[in-house]
Amino acid sequence: MERKVYLDNAATTYIATEVLNEMMPCFSVFYGNPNSIHSFGREAQGLVDRARDRIARAINSNSNEVYFTSGGTESDNWAIKGIAHAYSSKGKHIITSSIEHSAVLGACKALEREGYEITYLPVDKFGLVDLAELIHAIRKDTILISIMAVNNEVGTIQNIKAIGKIAKEYDVIFHTDAVQALSSLRLDVKDMEIDLMSISSHKVYGPKGVGALYIRNGIKIENLIDGGHQERNKRGGTLNVPAIVGFGKAVEMTVRDFALYNKKIKKLRDYFVREVKEKIPYIIINGHPHQKVNNIINISFELIEGEAILMLLDFEGIAVSTGSACTSGALEPSYVLRAMGVDDEVAQGSIRFSLGRSTSKDDIDYTIKKLAEAVGKLRKISPQTKSSVKGE
């Protein structure tokens, strides 16, 4: 049988068996609408409540501060547009970073068309937002700071607690897109002084199509999706009970097994990086040297282009990505790497390997072997040589 290695866990994960087991009865046994008053409805409502409690516990919030959505993109859109519209009388200025996920950047662009002003903070070569620059960017009319917790392409972890402190000190609402952080970072909304936080289920071995937005009690927000009385009148639409139940279980498991998997994945990551450095010349590891999550490795292979590498690996059954799945098909080199000051040609040759719970040492060995072959083959085809590259 053809060998398969999945190293795209930052794009999505499989559903854990324990999660699936909890979801299954929700399809055919506990199929009631949680908003119905009868016993079928109450039963479903009980399952949704339990999922909400589990998520609240995991992020140290109250249960009534967790609102279910269709996923990370909706949560980001709701947080940014909802706050912008609710606080427009105070001001129309929002601060974000230049390396946010396209959901955040897309929502900001939409607000710009409505007359809002957005400051896109630059990042340093490691992908970190400079806190002094953040403070400098805050104005009287600034209503929101939205900075991601973990970058999805390079894995750099922002100084979220410090940003939360700054936002509070200057009385600005703080939203963080923690979609990529949930699997490998302990998130505590109280300790980190977070006002709104987006999370998603399918990055933590839960089903796709469900996520949540944490909204601190006391924060005003305009609805993104109007409709019935679901989610305390804030988000219309019949609740997707099986997905919500799966999400709750997935988050609970993530926190429960946090140390176990993070240790395992870190060991594999370190091994992977060591091996690549040893076996393949002319590579650049992108991102922060240590302030980064364990599951994401972003490497630029000089003199060649990323998509070609991806496809040669795909022929061998290995799944990786160039940048993020959301930007694939784009012709421009990754805007994240560009913002970090990575040279265009080097950025073109970047590949993201994202490890997961089921990744084994064998997977890594197989990948390194095939990767070295692919890179060698493409470098033979490439007209670029080390001496033709600028600065060499």
Partner 1 sequence: MYNNKVLEIFKNPKNVGTLKGANGIGKVGNAACGDIMKIYLKINEDGIIEDASFKTFGCVAAITTTSVATELIKGKTIEEALKVKNSQIIEILGGLPTQKIHCSILAEEAIKAAIEDYYKKQKKLEKTNKNSQV
**Active site residue: 86, 110, 285, 326, which one?**
326
Dist CA 207 CA 229 (whole Å):
24
| CA distance to 149, 360, 365, 374, per residue, from 369 (Å) | 33, 15, 6, 9
> How far from each other are the two terminal CA atoms of the chain, in whole angstroms?
44
Nearer to partner 1, 255 or 389 (CB): 389
Q: Which of residues 298-317 bind partner 1 (CB under 8 A)?
A: 303-305, 307-308, 311, 315
**Residue 160 host element (H or E):** helix 160-169
Nearer to partner 1, 83 or 310 (CB): 310
**Residue 337 host element (H or E):** helix 335-339
- The minimum distance between CB 193 and partner 1, in angstroms, equals 40
Which of 37, 132, 259, 331 is the binder for partner 1 (CB under 8 A)?
331
Cα angle, residue 214 at apex, residues 324 and 29 outer, rounded to 5°? 90
Nearer to partner 1, 2 or 113 (CB): 2
SS3 284: strand
- The minimum distance between CB 352 and partner 1, in angstroms, equals 16
Instruction: State the number of binding residues for partner 1 (CB under 8 A).
Output: 19
Nearer to partner 1, 287 or 333 (CB): 333
Give the residue among 196, 188, 203 at the shortest CA–CA distance from 219.
Answer: 196
Tell me the pairing of strands 196-200 and 211-215. antiparallel
Question: Which backbone phi and psi does 18 adopt, to 5 degrees?
Answer: -60, -35
**Stretch of 5-13, 178-186, 273-281, 297-305 contacting partner 1, by CB under 8 A:** 297-305
Which of 114, 344, 365, 373 is the binder for partner 1 (CB under 8 A)?
344
- The minimum distance between CB 382 and partner 1, in angstroms, equals 5
Nearer to partner 1, 201 or 348 (CB): 348
DSSP assignment of 350-369, as one string? EEEEE--TT--HHHHHHHHH
- The minimum distance between CB 160 and partner 1, in angstroms, equals 33
Instruction: Reply yes or no on whether 326 is catalytic.
Output: yes
**Stretch of 22-30, 64-72, 286-294, 326-334 contacting partner 1, by CB under 8 A:** 326-334
Nearer to partner 1, 344 or 362 (CB): 344
Determine if 1 is a binding residue for partner 1 (CB under 8 A). no
| CA distance to 268, 269, 278, 298, 323, per residue, from 365 (Å) | 10, 12, 13, 17, 22
Which of 329, 387, 391, 392 is the binder for partner 1 (CB under 8 A)?
329
Q: Which of residues 349-388 bind partner 1 (CB under 8 A)?
A: 380-384
- The minimum distance between CB 384 and partner 1, in angstroms, equals 5
Dist CA 51 CA 66 (whole Å):
10
- The minimum distance between CB 308 and partner 1, in angstroms, equals 6
**Stretch of 54-62, 89-97, 208-216, 325-333 contacting partner 1, by CB under 8 A:** 325-333
Dihedral (C-alpha) 187, 188, 191, 192: value to the nearest 10 degrees? 40
DSSP assignment of 82-110, as one string? HHHHHTTTT--EEEEETT--HHHHHHHHH
Footprint on this chain of partner 1 (rule: CB under 8 A)? 303-305, 307-308, 311, 315, 329-331, 333, 344-345, 348, 380-384
Residues labelled as active-site residues: 326
